[in-house]
Amino acid sequence: MNIFIHFLDKELLEIYASRKYSEDIIRKVTFSIKVALLLLKKDECIYIPASNYFESDLAQIVLEKFRNIVDLGFIKLVSSSNTLERFVKKKRIVYSSLYTKEQIMEKEEEILDKNVPGIWTPREASATADIITNWQNSIDSSEWSNLYKISNYRKITSFEKDVATVPKNLGNRAFVVNHVLPELKINPNNEEDAKEIINKVISRFYIDSFLKEFKAVCYKNFFLIPQANNILPEYFEHIDYSSLCRRLTTISYEGNSLYTYIDMCDNYKLMLLRQKEVLYDALDYKSDTKIISMHMEEIKMKTFIVHGHDGEAKLALKNYIQNTLRMEEPVILSERASGGLTIIEKFEKYSEDCNIIFVLLTPDDLYTEDGKSRARQNVILEMGYFLGKLGRKSGRVILLYKGNLELPNDISGLVYINIDNGIEAAGEEIRREIANI
C-alpha cells in the first residue's frame, strides 16, 4: 500500500487552507508523514509530486525534517522529468506566463542549489496527458453544471465548446487554474467560485493519474483540508486519517499514548518503531478495516446498461458511471455496431464480459388495471438473463426505478433504488451497492 501525499499541493492549499502556517500546523503535518512512514510495508513508498516541494513553502518546511533518512528510500519525489535539470527547464516553459524572467531565474538557482529530501523518481505516465484525457471525457457531464451557472455564456453548447478547447489553447503551459480561467467567459464577480470549481476538477484528475500509476492511496478526512475529500478518486481504499489518529490516542506505548510518542520521537526512534512494526501490532485489523485496508485494489469492472425508452435517464446514468464513478464507458447496446448480427446475437456478444449491470426500470408501457406502468418487456427479459448469468445474490445486478411503476415481486432479496430525483441524488446508494460487491 503506497501512500500518495496530496495535501502539500500549492493549488489546493491556496483554496482550502491558510497561506500562513503556525508551528502547530507544521508539527501536525510532520506527524502525518511520520504515520505514513510507519504504515508502509516492505517495498512500499510515500510518493510526493516534486513540484510540491519547490512550489509550496509548507512542503519544503515539512520535508526538510526528513532529510536525514533520504537514503532509506521511503520518500520519493515524483516528476515526469528524468532529472532535476530537466525539471527546471520544463517549469521555465509551463509557468512562463505566471512569473517574470527574473523570478524564474531566481527560482532556478534556488532549486538547483538543493539536494532534494527524497529520491528523485521519474514517472512513466504524464499527469498533464491524463488530465487532458479526463477533461475531454467530462465535457458533457454534470461536472461543469455549477461553473456554467456562474459563467457569462447564454448557451450550454457555447460553454462546452470553449471548455473542450482549453487543452489546445493552453499549449505547453501548465494545466493550472490561473491558466485555465482566462480561457473561459466567467462573470468577474464569480471568479473565486469559478477557481474553486476548476481546481477541484483538475486536482481530481491529477491525483487519479498518480494513484493509478503507483497503486497508492491518500489520506481522507485530513485535518488541513477536510473539505477536499470530494477530489479524491473513488474506488481506492483511502486511509481515514482522523479515525486513525483517534485510534492512536487510545494505544499505550512507553508511558504515553502511541500518538504522543510518534509526535515527540525523532527520525531515529521512528525507524526503530518501523523495525518493531509497532503500528501493525497495535492496530486490530478486524476492527480497524474501515480505517485502513491492507489489500487495496482498484476496482475494475465492465458495465452494461439495460434501458427502455427514457433516454434522459440512460444518458445521466452513463455520465455518472464514467465521470463520477470513474469507471470505463458502459455498454449500451443501441450504441454498438450490429455487424450483421441478430438482436439476440448482438446482445450476447456485447454482454459476454460485463460483470456489473445497471437495469433502468422506467414507466414505458401503461398497465391499465390499476393505473401503474411497466418497464419495457425487453428490459425485464435482459434483467432475467443477467440475474441468471451473474446470480441473484452476487449484487452485480443493480436495479434503478422511477415513477409509478409495477416492480417484479417474484424475485426476493433484490434491492431497488429509486431515481425519481435523478441519478446523482441516488449516488450514495449506488456507490454503496458497488462497494459491497
Instruction: Give the range among 147-151, 268-272, 275-279 with minimum mean pLDDT.
Output: 275-279
Is the model's pLDDT at 98 over the cut of 50? no
Does the pLDDT value for residue 289 go beyond 50? no
Summarised one tens digit per residue, pLDDT across range 219-246 is 999 999 888 888 888 767 788 899 899 9
Q: What's CA 4's distance to the chain center, in Å?
A: 12
Instruction: Point out the least confidently predicted range of 28-42, 43-57, 109-123, 340-354.
Output: 109-123
- Report the pLDDT averaged over residues 153-168: 92
Q: What is the pLDDT of residue 139?
A: 78
Is residue 38 pLDDT above 80, yes or no? yes
Predicted confidence (pLDDT) at residue 117 exceeds the cutoff of 90: no
Of 111-125, 220-234, 283-297, 415-429, the range with the lowest mean pLDDT is 283-297
Give residue 360's pLDDT: 95
Amino acid occupying residue 81: S
**pLDDT at position 91, please?**
63
pLDDT at 53: 86
Q: Reply yes or no on whether the pLDDT at 121 is more than 50.
A: yes
What string of DSSP letters covers 272-328? Answer: HHHHHTHHHHHS-TTT-TTT--SS-------EEEE--S-HHHHHHHHHIIIIIS-PP
300: confidence class by pLDDT, cuts 50, 70, 90:
low
Contact 74, 39 (CB under 8 A): no
The per-residue pLDDT for 351 is: 92
Contact at 8 Å (CB) between 152 and 187?
Answer: yes
Question: How many whole angstroms separate alpha carbon 219 and alpha carbon 6?
Answer: 8
Lowest mean pLDDT among 19-33, 78-92, 181-195, 286-300: 286-300
pTM for the structure as a whole? 0.65
pLDDT at 436 over 90: no
Q: What is the mean pLDDT of residues 49-69?
A: 90
What would the mean pLDDT of 246-258 be, rounded to a whole number?
91
Q: Rounded distance, CA 347 to CA 330, Å?
A: 14
In which band, very low, low, confident or very high, does the pLDDT at 286 lie, cut at 50, 70 and 90? very low
Q: What angle do CA 44, 228, 146 make, to 5 degrees?
A: 135
The mean pLDDT of the chain is 84
Ranked by mean pLDDT, the top range of 54-58, 82-86, 201-205, 298-302 is 201-205
pLDDT value, residue 296: 38
Q: How confident is the model at residue 48 (pLDDT cuts 50, 70, 90)?
A: very high
Going by pLDDT thresholds of 50, 70 and 90, the confidence category of residue 299 is: very low
- CA distances 237 to 6, 39, 241, 352, Å, are 15, 14, 12, 29
pLDDT at residue 306 in the model: 96
Residue-level pLDDT at 249: 92
* pLDDT above 70 as % of the chain: 85
User: How confident is the model over 397-422, as pLDDT tens digits?
Assistant: 999 999 888 877 655 557 789 999 99
pLDDT of residue 100: 52
Interatomic CA distance for residues 286 and 309, integer angstroms: 46
